[in-house]
């Protein structure tokens, strides 16, 4: 009895502390929500909610609305069109297949996507300073490093695929764990470049190496591809030769340590291209799942089969396909999943959000010495990682993906505001026609 009460009391105390911090600093609600992702399996379930995370989001929204009820500031429409697209996507998802959207077999999808839309909105308003971004990066990275360390302890890379088994740490699946470890690696790389304290840089170096190795021990081939893609993008985003050299050295050190811990890690990486070209192992399973999705889409191309319904219908559309064997599986592709479940209309709306976020990052222009220039690069790399990762994983309801889209809005808005201020200053330096002397006016007319 005592063993059951103690975790509940401890969880309640932690929850009260978090709520107190959010009330004082609302942006911490976004921070805690995203930081929960690498340790989602540790979070307790509470009545009426899947976990404490939706409750944190609700409290954050209420505090934010109360603190800004007299704020007359309006966001420019260009960057904020992403919210309209999100609302229209949810509306279409519901009206095209109301039963699947509202009374889904595993969840209320309307409630899920409303939460994600709220998270995107809060991210676009609350993460407005460098200090807030760094707080998010620090907390997310710390919990991700802990989860990655556990994954290294539990995972095993053998000489054969059948003997290997990956670990996801405290995340609910290995593919998601690999992505979060990569995001933490990106965060720590940026924080390390911003720090001039030797001990802090050493700790961050250790964290980078742990997350790097942790990706391999998830045994996620997509994760390994994304890890190297992220490193390449980080390398080219650096402006100085010294920073690029440090990225190469960090990568080499991490690879050597991976090899020392498990000689079979490179063998795992070497199976990626054969698996893609020959359709082996999990890649062959994905090909079969995508073929089943195409069959479903042919029957309902406009409305789709209903959000969340693919995995319940896949046994009926895959009887002659290999690997599936009647199992209830996700389609393992964000874009195909949205297309087959919400139809062409839903896909256009959803992909429109991705496109708008991409353009927001491109439009976010700051002076080279502006602290936001580096932040834009960091978040843009993470956004690209999530987009590429969506090719082999269903990330349409991933909190980090929606939060990154919200971050794109705040950078685009800040860039636009900076441009307007600069333009006004330029105009202020130009004397008006009325203030010119009569002789100068004559010369102008002449």
Q: Domain map of the chain by residue range?
A: 1-70, 79-126+273-363+398-446, 132-270
Between the CA of residue 108 and those of 45, 50, 113, 336, 351, what are the distances in Å? 16, 11, 9, 21, 22
Tokens encoding 420: 């307007």
pLDDT in tens, 56-106: 888 898 888 888 776 655 555 566 799 999 999 999 999 999 999 999 888
Please give the helix or strand (H or E) that residue 178 lies within, else none: helix 174-194
Asked if residues 339 and 296 have their Cβ atoms less than 8 Å apart, the reply is: no
339 confidence band (pLDDT: 50, 70, 90): very high
Least-confidence region, from 145-159, 239-253, 285-299, 356-370: 239-253
Task: State the chain's mean pLDDT as an integer.
Answer: 86
pLDDT in tens, 136-175: 999 999 999 999 999 999 988 876 666 677 888 999 889 9
Tokens encoding 180: 């979060």
Closest CA to 383 of 113, 182, 116: 182
Could you give the count of Cα atoms lying within 13 Å of 32 in the half-sphere of its Cβ?
25
Amino acid 97: pLDDT: 95
Amino acid 73: pLDDT: 56
Please enumerate in sequence order all residues whose Cβ is within 8 A of that of 233, keeping only pairs 6 or more positions apart, or say none: 381, 384, 385
Given a cut of 70, whether residue 268 has pLDDT beyond it is yes
The pair phi, psi for residue 46, each rounded to 5°, is -130, 155
Q: What is the pTM for the complete model shown?
A: 0.89
Given a cut of 60, whether residue 24 has pLDDT beyond it is yes
For residues 309-329, average pLDDT: 90
Given a cut of 90, whether residue 230 has pLDDT beyond it is yes
């Amino acid at each position: 009895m005592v063993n059951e009460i103690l975790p509940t009391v401890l969880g309640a105390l932690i929850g009260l502390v978090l709520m107190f911090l959010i009330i004082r600093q609302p942006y911490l609600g976004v921070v805690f929500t995203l930081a929960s992702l690498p340790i989602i399996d540790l979070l307790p379930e509470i009545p009426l909610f899947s976990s404490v995370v939706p409750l944190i989001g609700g409290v954050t929204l209420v505090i934010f609305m109360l603190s800004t009820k007299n704020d007359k500031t309006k966001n420019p429409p260009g960057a904020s069109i992403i919210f309209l697209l999100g609302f229209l996507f949810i509306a279409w998802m519901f009206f095209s297949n109301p039963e699947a959207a509202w009374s889904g077999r595993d969840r209320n999808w309307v409630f899920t996507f409303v939460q994600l839309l709220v998270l995107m909105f809060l991210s676009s308003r609350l993460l407005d300073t460098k200090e807030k971004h760094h707080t998010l990066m620090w907390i997310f990275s710390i919990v991700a490093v802990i989860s990655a360390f556990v994954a290294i302890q539990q995972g095993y890379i053998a000489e054969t695929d059948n003997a290997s088994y990956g670990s996801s740490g405290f995340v609910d699946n290995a593919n998601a764990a690999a992505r979060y470890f990569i995001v933490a690696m990106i965060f720590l790389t940026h924080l390390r470049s911003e720090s001039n304290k030797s001990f802090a840089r050493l700790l961050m170096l250790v964290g980078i190496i742990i997350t790097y190795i942790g990706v391999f021990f998830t045994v996620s081939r997509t994760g390994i591809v994304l890890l190297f893609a992220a490193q390449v993008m980080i390398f080219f985003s650096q402006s100085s030769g010294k920073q690029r050299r440090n990225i190469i050295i960090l990568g080499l050190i991490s690879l050597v340590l991976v090899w020392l811990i498990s000689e079979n890690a490179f063998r795992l990486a070497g199976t990626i291209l054969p698996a893609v070209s020959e359709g082996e192992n999990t890649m062959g399973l994905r090909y079969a799942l995508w073929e089943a999705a195409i069959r479903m889409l042919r029957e309902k191309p406009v409305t789709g089969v209903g959000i969340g319904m693919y995995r319940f219908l896949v046994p009926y559309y895959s009887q002659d396909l290999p690997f599936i064997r009647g199992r209830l599986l996700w389609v393992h592709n964000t874009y195909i999943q949205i297309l087959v479940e919400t139809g062409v209309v839903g896909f256009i709306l959803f992909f429109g959000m991705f496109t708008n976020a991409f353009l927001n990052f491109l439009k976010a222009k700051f002076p080279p010495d502006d602290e936001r220039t580096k932040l834009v690069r960091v978040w843009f790399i993470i956004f690209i990682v999530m987009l590429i990762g969506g090719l082999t994983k269903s990330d349409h309801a991933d909190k980090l993906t929606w939060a990154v889209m919200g971050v794109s809005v705040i950078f685009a808005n800040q860039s636009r505001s900076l441009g307007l201020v600069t333009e006004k200053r330029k105009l202020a330096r130009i004397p008006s026609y009325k203030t010119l002397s009569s002789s100068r006016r004559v010369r102008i007319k002449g």
